Structure 1
Amino acid sequence: MTGVGVSKGVALGQAQWMRLTVLLPIDNTPINPSEISTEKSKFEDARQAALKQIRALVTSLRMKLPKEAEIFQAHALILEDEEFVTPVIQLIEQQCLPAGAAIYSITQTLKDTFLAMDNEYFQARAQDIVDIERRLILNLQGTPPVDLQLLEPGTILLAEELTPSETAGLNTEKVIGLATRLGGKTSHTAILAKALGIPAVVGCSELEQIQDGDQIIINGDTGEILVNPSSVERQSALNAQKLQQEREIRFAAEVKLPTETLDRHQLTLAANLSHPGMTAEAIKAGAEEVGLFRTEFLYLGRDSAPSEEEQFQVYKTVVEGMAGRPVIFRTMDIGGDKQVPYLGLAEEDNPFLGYRALRICLQEPELFSAQIRAILRTSAFGPVKIMFPMVATLDELDKATAIVKCIGKELACEGIPSASAVPLGIMIEIPSAALRAAEFAAEVDFFSIGTNDLIQYTLAADRLNPKLSSLYQACDPAVLRLIAGVIEAGRKRGIPVGVCGEMASQPLGALLLLGMGINELSMSIGSLPEIKSLIRRTVYSEAARLVQSALRMRTTQEVQMHIQEYLNGH
């Protein structure tokens, strides 16, 4: 069987289906007006009990998974938000709905809102609403949740879908792997499984064919599931586990060593961050820089834009946390599929090609100026760079650069400390910018190639559409030639070129980029040790020759086989 591998590793164990505590049917029968006060009290009691449970979970997680604890902190914020609480109370008061029906109505609306979004990340947030809904209903009915501590050691847990709370509650001494019929790679279940180090496969439609007690092997790298494997397959799984353990030990031993090839070619290894609390983890994993700090998290899920001061405090925390290592702040990539209601943006048929990122910033000067002021103020506390996303034309760049220079002069006049010169760069993610890379290189201090969007725009293939997965490929010759041209343009102008897209975190992609002469690879924290180990075991001149051959190939498959053959041999 095949699903989507979301947490690396191989697990061999006994299948056990998770039997959820059954929720009693939701009673939609209107209540008597005299019962309104009672139902409101029931809702409030269930809400307070949920908050107490979540806070206890956050406290326990902060010791072992501090970053992942923030998932549940967000759950608590939703339960405390008047925009969630007030509509539930209004349904009880105005429509005489029982508390359970009112909760269900509001959470269904929230789920539907997330599921309707084009962005896979936000679609996955619907599962957080399911988690909150289930917790409230169980508390309302006075039913304890299923006890996952009762599972037998060596269990591979199977489920229709796991909520984040259920995943966080797994005992890793007993659960050695998990597989679900539903779910995606950006779900919090996937994120938590990876953080817990549990091999996981999600989105396996055939999973229901597996019975309790079946011996199974799950491969979190490939997404494959073997049911009742042969002795040869079991031994192969054990060998894979041993090899993975050896690799992880080797990766950990190399984290603090230089990022250089066997023939002493050096480059920078950087981390993509989306939260200020991730800096210590990034440094521990070997990050030499923050190659991409996603500032848009400050703008989402709120009623108004963050103030300059609020942004400054967050950015300052990141810079100080990196202790002298450079931080590249990407200006807000909002709009399109990342909705911000307070801006009143119209819904778009094709948000990836719509009104977003720098296009909004140039039309909303007050919003943009507050962010630029905050970033420039942060530059007084450590090395900072500013990067503009979604740049298509030189005119856009000229306008954004003029705004930064103007604000720099304003801060100087006001006597507010900031660096005398903050490097400015752009993301190369639109083919027009890639094709005119030589002209852009004359105007900026650095490039960072956003391969996720560059691939989908070049091949006209939506990266979130599973039917187009065979077309959406980083190894497509057209994509590779665009990337190679951008790197060459940067080299001729003497500016560094990095990659902050998913391609940098994959061994095959990283090897190609290394051979093209990339200066920096920026990726998720978990990928840093493996990519550093790959670089340290590669001869740069060999990688360069591999790339020259790859750039002449006709098909994606030829490129993949060519590079994979080298990786297998080394």
Structure 2
Amino acid sequence: MASFTLHGIPVSRGIAIGRAHLLAPAALDVKHYLIPQEQVEAEVQRLQKAIATVHKELQTIWNDLPKDSPAELGAFIDVHALILSDPMIAEVPLDIIRTRFYNAEWALLTQIDELSAQFDEIEDAYLRERKSDIQQVGERVLKVLTGSANALPAGDGSEGAGRMIVVAHDISPADMLRFKDRAFGGFVTDLGGQNSHTAIVARSLDIPAVVGMYNASMLIRQDDWVIIDGDAGVVIVDPTPAVLEQYRERQARLLRERKKLGKLKKMPAVTKDGTEITLLANIELPEDCTAAMEAGAMGVGLFRSEYLFMGRAGFVNKLPSEDEQFESYRQAVAAMKGRPVTIRTLDIGADKPLDMAEQTSLNPALGLRAIRFCLAEPQMFLAQLRAILRASAYGPVKLLIPMLAHAFEIDQSLAMIEQAKAQLRDAGKKFDPLIPIGAMIEIPAAALTLPMFVKKMDFLSIGTNDLIQYTLAIDRADHEVAHLYNPLHPAVLYLLASTISIATKAGIPVAVCGEMAGDMKLTRLLLGMGLREFSMHPTQLLAVKHEILNSDLNEITPSVKKILRSFDPMAIAEAVNQLNQAGAV
């Protein structure tokens, strides 16, 4: 068979080489037939038994999680268990059997398809990706019903045999665990995006992966030799000996570079000219602090608190209580051992509905979300503020408010924080009365009216993901316009540079916590703008530190000033490339 190349979405870096192991989706084998009325209850019980079996499977997987597993794995298994318990999955298919006389598989698949269609209408990329969790749960139940559970090869991991490359239409985080100890080298899926749970787990496990390949599982055959280039989002099937050798050399070089980076963990992030840079970690759950500490993070620059709400509210209509939130925040503070933890208040709303059946607005990205949602739900917001304040009694905590754009939003937020403090004083509960309050700068209106923020806030954090999206008026999750998403657009660079400059002159600490902070190709550009605080996923930290250690601000700053005067996108891209090559090690 001739060699061919497939292109998808890169979600986890690195190179993997091995033999393909195909996972066939059970949904393809589902038979559709009507059942006699007298067999309806027996069919209902068959589906109930399958759901109970999957509950036991998930519990077993959760119990058997290795201690060194990424925190995300346990959380995502919990989400799948909650989905399985939700009436939309646990009860509606039973009603379909009783009213339409569908067989169990057909009834379940009908409901999964209906829910998937609802999620397709959600504009927010993260929430839209949750459709895959519902489909993965459905797939697991279907495999029990059809008796088509996947048998796994032993895989010895030897160089001659090649490591196993899993190729699937989709794969759940729980299923990824089954491959972890079987010479699992990487995976390729037809479905998925940057924000899918599978992608998040792949990054946590540091496994090369490419998703969103549409028909890879139809084109790749069992035991084909496969190369995954996780940096480029490329999969090469049946490579020629010359290409195989080329990628083996690249793989070996990457391993050597990674070992070198490991030596930087305890080294301070200081540029060649002696400027100290603060490197922080972005986390979703308290357990992520372990990876942050291991990578040498000087603190948490962004604790995305919405992950405590996700999956629970949407499926069981029960928000985490103040005490439950407090315990999660306290755990993170304790785990960071005196290093500061910045907790962002709930970034959720019309684009991230708290109820699966909730209607979304016509344009959720511009709707009732983040601080707008919190101010519209004052009791929920006050409960979160009290939980964050209580955690500040256990170590340094900073409170970050997302999506502020108006003066009255700043004033209302600060007033509610004071109200939460008063409630805690009345209850006799301890907190840090001088807790720093910060604002996310992620709307162009905020970046353009920064003096309003520096007067009232203790620190700023630039959310580049949304800032780019709103500045360029595109949804980067929309494939038709994703190519327009450009961090180096002159307007984006202007807003970034002016925000950093104004905040610095006002003596207000400013960080970048969006994807740009973890992209080492943009590290020198941000340094030249005057940025001194970067916050990123822990796996990106050492590569960014390496760039910082090899940068001289005396050389970089004049070059960046010149870049910021340019409005030619191609000239900017070329200048940034030259900036990175200057003095590269």
Instruction: Output the TM-score relative to the length of structure 2.
Output: 0.90
User: Quick check: 1:496 aligned with 2:522?
Assistant: no
User: Quick check: 1:272 aligned with 2:282?
Assistant: yes
* Distance across 2 between alignment mates of 1:76 and 1:410: 36
Cα deviation code 1:244-271 (max 9, x no counterpart): 1112112211112212212221121111
How much is the aligned-residue C-alpha RMSD, in angstroms? 2.5
Alpha-carbon distance, 1:227 to partner: 4.3
Question: Which one of the candidate residues 106, 111, 114 is aligned to 1:109?
Answer: 114
Match of 1:316 in 2: 330
Match of 1:199 in 2: 208
* Distance across 2 between alignment mates of 1:96 and 1:211: 37
Q: Is the 8 A contact 1:31 1:97 kept in 2?
A: no
Alpha-carbon distance, 1:72 to partner: 1.7
Cα deviation code 1:526-560 (max 9, x no counterpart): 21121122212222222323311211222233222
Question: Which one of the candidate residues 433, 442, 453 is aligned to 2:466?
Answer: 453
Mapping for residues 150-189 of structure 1, pairs under 5 Å? 153-171=162-180, 174-189=183-198
- Change beyond 3 A, Cα 1:556–1:443: same
Match of 1:39 in 2: 43
Match of 1:443 in 2: 456
Alpha-carbon distance, 1:172 to partner: 6.0
Cα deviation code 1:5-45 (max 9, x no counterpart): 2221123344554455686433340432x333322321222
What is the letter of the counterpart of residue 551 of structure 1?
Answer: L
User: Quick check: 1:90 aligned with 2:95?
Assistant: yes
Q: Is the 8 A contact 1:153 1:175 kept in 2?
A: no
* Distance across 2 between alignment mates of 1:376 and 1:419: 7
SS at structure 1 position matched to 2:91: helix
Mapping for residues 206-221 of structure 1, pairs under 5 Å? 207=216, 208-210=218-220, 214-221=224-231
- Change beyond 3 A, Cα 1:309–1:195: closer
SS at structure 2 position matched to 1:133: helix
* Distance across 2 between alignment mates of 1:439 and 1:40: 61
Question: Which one of the candidate residues 239, 242, 265 is aligned to 2:249?
Answer: 239
- Change beyond 3 A, Cα 1:261–1:406: same
User: Quick check: 1:57 aligned with 2:66?
Assistant: no
SS at structure 2 position matched to 1:225: strand
* Distance across 2 between alignment mates of 1:491 and 1:133: 51
Q: Is the 8 A contact 1:475 1:509 kept in 2?
A: no
SS at structure 2 position matched to 1:169: helix
* Distance across 2 between alignment mates of 1:281 and 1:468: 34
* Distance across 2 between alignment mates of 1:553 and 1:231: 45
Alpha-carbon distance, 1:389 to partner: 0.8
Q: Is the 8 A contact 2:488 2:572 kept in 1?
A: yes
SS at structure 2 position matched to 1:270: strand
User: Quick check: 1:141 aligned with 2:154?
Assistant: no
Cα deviation code 1:498-520 (max 9, x no counterpart): 01111101012222112211131
* Distance across 1 between alignment mates of 2:223 and 2:354: 48
* Distance across 2 between alignment mates of 1:206 and 1:51: 30
Cα deviation code 1:422-481 (max 9, x no counterpart): 111100011111011123111110000010111111111222222323321111111111
* Distance across 2 between alignment mates of 1:291 and 1:551: 26
Runs of 4 or more off by more than 6 Å in structure 1? none
Q: How many residues align?
A: 568
* Distance across 2 between alignment mates of 1:257 and 1:13: 35
What is the letter of the counterpart of residue 295 of structure 2?
Answer: A
Unpaired segments ≥5 residues, structure 2: none
Alpha-carbon distance, 1:229 to partner: 4.1
- Change beyond 3 A, Cα 1:533–1:59: farther
Q: Is the 8 A contact 2:494 2:564 kept in 1?
A: yes
Mapping for residues 4-83 of structure 1, pairs under 5 Å? 4-15=9-20, 17-19=22-24, 24-32=29-37, 34-67=38-71, 68-83=73-88
* Distance across 1 between alignment mates of 2:138 and 2:303: 32
Alpha-carbon distance, 1:129 to partner: 1.9
Question: Which one of the candidate residues 264, 289, 292 is aligned to 1:254?
Answer: 264
Match of 1:328 in 2: 342
Instruction: Output the TM-score relative to the length of structure 1.
Output: 0.92
* Distance across 2 between alignment mates of 1:427 and 1:202: 30
Identity of aligned residues (%): 35
Question: Which one of the candidate residues 341, 344, 353 is aligned to 1:339?
Answer: 353
What is the letter of the counterpart of residue 42 of structure 1?
Answer: R
Q: 302-311 or 471-480: which moved more?
A: 302-311
SS at structure 2 position matched to 1:104: helix
- Change beyond 3 A, Cα 1:206–1:55: closer
Alpha-carbon distance, 1:147 to partner: 2.3
* Distance across 2 between alignment mates of 1:488 and 1:195: 34
Alpha-carbon distance, 1:352 to partner: 0.9
Cα deviation code 1:340-360 (max 9, x no counterpart): 239x97521111111111112
Q: Is the 8 A contact 2:285 2:308 kept in 1?
A: no
